[in-house]
Structure 1
Amino acid sequence: MGHGEEAPRRRVILLCSPCMGHLIPLVELARRLVADHGLAATLLFATATATPSDEYLAVAAAVPDGVDLVTLPGPAADALPPSASVRERVAHAVVSSVPRARHVALSLAASAPIAALVIDVAFTPARGIATELGVPVYMFFTSPYTVLSLLLHLPELDATITGEYRDATEPIRLPGCRLIAASDLPSPMLADRNSEVYAKFLHGAKECRKVDGFLVNTFLELEPAVVDSSISGLERPVHALGPLVWTRPAAADKDHECMRWLDRQPPESVVYVSLGSGGTLTWQQTAELALGLEMSQHRFIWVIKRPNDDPLGCGSFFGARNIGADEDLDFLPGGFVERTRGVGLFVSSWAPQTAILSHPSIGCFVTHCGWNSVLEGLLNGVPLVAWPLYAEQRINASMLEGQLGVAARVKLSNGGLVLKQEVAGTIKCAMKNGGAETLRKKIRKLKDKAVHALTPAGSSGHALAEVSNLWKPGT
């Protein structure tokens, strides 16, 4: 190296499965490693579809300077039958992309030292790349620590609990974490334990243990149990780095039609309804939600999708088909659009969620309890209406309602629907003048703690500095 030349920055390679909910916090983690800790970062995203979704394009357009985002080509369109589940499609896309990820990683290693490989929970098949590079592999876990603890304890739960988990009368106890009711367990644990779905979930849980450490998108003040990182007797460090959320500059979104509409509404008067990029409702449930919004007599912004009869509620996991400008909202109850004109606003494509949540007109957030949405709600101090749909969302909802007291949770009828009266009543509980003051006080206290956690003096800022120093020699 010539005199005065700087040594190339050590590079972290991050691997993301085709889950939009994983990509957003991984981009933010990469941004912080580059901007605050002097590392370089390349983020590889495995795609499961031939054409990228609007959500992916929105994130890709806002990737910060210094972070290289590389899209790994998806598998052939006919590689799996149309009936394949989301889990199967994610797993297939990951396995298909490992050779390409290895090729990119080895090319990068030829030009600068690699500090670490960071994978998400679905990318465990790529662990061998870290072995080949001679670097540590860390898992970035995009859900709460409580869910990670459940996964890491699953092999011993499997060995000690008899019968089906769904029939258990006692909740599951994890060290330091809130009890988990059987009805709130992730759907693969509610399946028959002799089924292929459960067997694959258990195998995945065992694979999670084979990493050098965990980075979790949470913070100590939210989940104090994360302090005890000796999970299941495994000597694996756990670092709480959150809340890592979308940090696209607000200026980029100020001209979106919904921001202009919000500017005209009174403070804390609008219900924001968004069930995530992957969440979908059936025709009947969509109608109940619409009528419940009308019955609540509050203004609303609804990020709306065409109904989908996917039984798990994740029919748009790989991107929704946007409702075109010339299409009717013909799936909504007759007369609903006319009756709510001026009171409600429908957003039928990607919405600038962080900008919306930070707007003073927002009074509450009806959310599917995906962890990114939860953290964005917390960081903006907005009371939550918890409407969990799939994955670990029921555990998240239980934590928000029962442990933290920052959410009102909808209840299902005997027919498995959230009825319009329940929608209206729960919204009223979370809105101003409807008994929401307690929710509001608690979530604003938590917001202050979340904001502080991310500062250099905060718990998450300190944890990220600690991890970065492990990855840089001589510090």
Structure 2
Amino acid sequence: METSKAHVALLPLPGMGHMIPFLGLGKLFVTHHNFKVTIFLVSIDHSSQTLSKTIISEMSNELCNIVQLPPVDITGVVDPNATVGLRLSVTMREIVPAFRSSVATMKPCPTVLITDIFGTDAFSVAEEFGMLKYVFSPSNAWILALTIYTPVLDKEVKGEYVHQKEPLKIPGCASVRVEDLFDPLLDRTNQQYDEYLHAGIRLRTSDGVLMNCWEELQPKTVAALRDDKLLGCVLKRPVYPVGPIVTQSGNSSKSGLLFDWLNKQSNDSVVYVSFGSGATLSHEQMTELAFGLELSQQRFVWVVRAPTKESGNKTYLKGRSGDENHDQFGYLPNGFMSRIQNVGFVISDWVSQVDILSHPSIGAFISHCGWNSTLESILMGVPIIAFPLFAEQKMNATMLTEEFGMAVRLEVLPSKKVVGREEIQKKVRKIMVDNEGHGIRDRVNELKYSAKEALCKGSSSYKALSELAKRFEARMQLQNKKAPSPITHE
């Protein structure tokens, strides 16, 4: 029986935004602490199962053991038109029996379970098999603070949050403006709200909470999470900022037509445009964005997806596999491709975002402000033009502009209204041309230094991960003492 190292079981939600940081966390436990790591992949349907396999094949260098759990049928549990958030929450609850069956076959069983905020129903399995149980929030400390405090707000605030005249106050943290609230909090009569509330309550039953941020990035919020007079009295569990965790494709290559083109551009001269693997733009918004980029007279790389009738997260779990007509881009304005031939590069196939952002020619990033993209932007020192679409992206955009000072925000919310070409042109030039852009670039470079420092040996995130490793090792030793000795025959 192998007893030399702790065994960490990771159970992330489906989708790029969750699986990528979990994979990165697993790699850290393997490379820094020689732990065994098993990642259990959950699928919401067969298309997301294919996406899961694609992510792992592209990003894993075989350091972690991968277990693909069978897709669960939730058609009888949720409405066919249910939001992605609700479908994810229900899927994580329904997957528990399959997860238990898989854990039961492991000898020895894992030492610790680390799951997503919406995966805490699996704690019952951890308790049954004597595992420690932790939550990893792949987002930042402010999002975690709101999640923890929502059960309190549920009792204190009367009526819908969206009808409140004042921002929602969180002890020791920045308040949350009503217009920045994300989907689960927009309708308290919706089942999605109940699931989010449940997650906030269940967090308190964990042995601790990990965050994909670092101490120096959000010192006030992290302190509030630990303070018994502030959020600490609600959570009552230790918190561990272990980020920034960013995973790069193991098969990435800075070759091909795109990088040949980038290599010809001057430093900080290109705007990178991408809205992640999950979101799509409406045809009207895509048209305005195209004209805005053209009017800005700046060079750009645009990773596009075919437009939909509505913007948002309808295709969140489908992934990006390239559009069938990606050679023609017939959904872009007439003549656009020919007019931007010498200044723009448009692509619809999957490409490593980290590789693009790390290229010296990239000077700005039009981003949906997903947390993975935000961390990649910080680590590469690239300012952001915030273009939030759904989920917690509006809160992230507010934080990036008002607290971090590394981004500029649009005058209107893209999730509420189509952003016009003049507005896009104005914001692009603000970072790329105007003097104000220099200060924003300086600020993101300060954050870049802070992020890289946090991961160094002896620094905050390194220490946090090391403290967790000691706890896991102590539990492993306890498990080994309780394990029955193998029967021998002389």
Q: TM-score, normalised by structure 2?
A: 0.90
Distance 1:76 1:240 in 2: 35
Following superposition, the deviation at residue 325 of structure 1 comes to 5.4
Following superposition, the deviation at residue 189 of structure 1 comes to 1.2
Following superposition, the deviation at residue 209 of structure 1 comes to 2.6
- Residues 1:14 and 2:14 are matched in the alignment: no
Following superposition, the deviation at residue 413 of structure 1 comes to 7.5
Deviates more, 1:327-336 or 1:180-189: 327-336
Q: Which residue of 1 aligns with 2:319?
A: 319
Q: Which residue of 1 aligns with 2:97?
A: 99
The alignment of Structure 1 onto Structure 2 pairs a total of residues equal to 467
Identity %: 34
Which runs of structure 2 are paired with 1:394-473 in the superposition (5 Å)? 394-412=394-412, 416-433=417-434, 435-473=436-474
Q: Which residue of 1 aligns with 2:488?
A: none
Following superposition, the deviation at residue 81 of structure 1 comes to 5.9
Closer, same or farther in 2 for the Cα pair 1:55/1:336, shift >3 Å? Answer: farther
Whether the 8 Å CA contact 1:55–1:350 is kept in 2: the answer is no
Closer, same or farther in 2 for the Cα pair 1:170/1:195, shift >3 Å? Answer: same
SS at match of 1:452: helix
Whether the 8 Å CA contact 1:31–1:64 is kept in 2: the answer is no
Closer, same or farther in 2 for the Cα pair 1:60/1:404, shift >3 Å? Answer: same
Which runs of structure 2 are paired with 1:206-355 in the superposition (5 Å)? 206-224=201-219, 225-228=221-224, 229-230=226-227, 231-233=231-233, 234-248=235-249, 252-310=252-310, 312-320=312-320, 322-324=322-324, 328-355=328-355
Q: In angstroms, what is the RMSD of aligned CA positions?
A: 2.2
* 2:66 partner amino acid: L
SS at match of 1:48: coil
Structure 1 unpaired stretches of 5+: none
SS at match of 1:290: helix
Following superposition, the deviation at residue 124 of structure 1 comes to 1.6
Deviates more, 1:25-34 or 1:44-53: 44-53
* 1:67 partner amino acid: C
Whether the 8 Å CA contact 2:109–2:129 is kept in 1: the answer is no
Following superposition, the deviation at residue 143 of structure 1 comes to 1.0
Following superposition, the deviation at residue 463 of structure 1 comes to 0.3
Distance 1:341 1:18 in 2: 37
Whether the 8 Å CA contact 1:280–1:315 is kept in 2: the answer is yes
Whether the 8 Å CA contact 2:115–2:134 is kept in 1: the answer is yes
Q: Which residue of 2 aligns with 1:24?
A: 20
Whether the 8 Å CA contact 1:286–1:332 is kept in 2: the answer is yes
Whether the 8 Å CA contact 2:74–2:90 is kept in 1: the answer is no
Deviates more, 1:231-240 or 1:359-368: 231-240
For residue 202 of structure 1, the aligned residue among 193, 197, 206 is 197
For residue 148 of structure 1, the aligned residue among 134, 144, 162 is 144
Distance 1:56 1:267 in 2: 36
Distance 1:212 1:148 in 2: 15
Distance 2:19 2:100 in 1: 19
Structure 2 unpaired stretches of 5+: 479-490
Distance 2:206 2:87 in 1: 23
Q: TM-score, normalised by structure 1?
A: 0.93
Distance 1:386 1:104 in 2: 42
Closer, same or farther in 2 for the Cα pair 1:154/1:54, shift >3 Å? Answer: closer
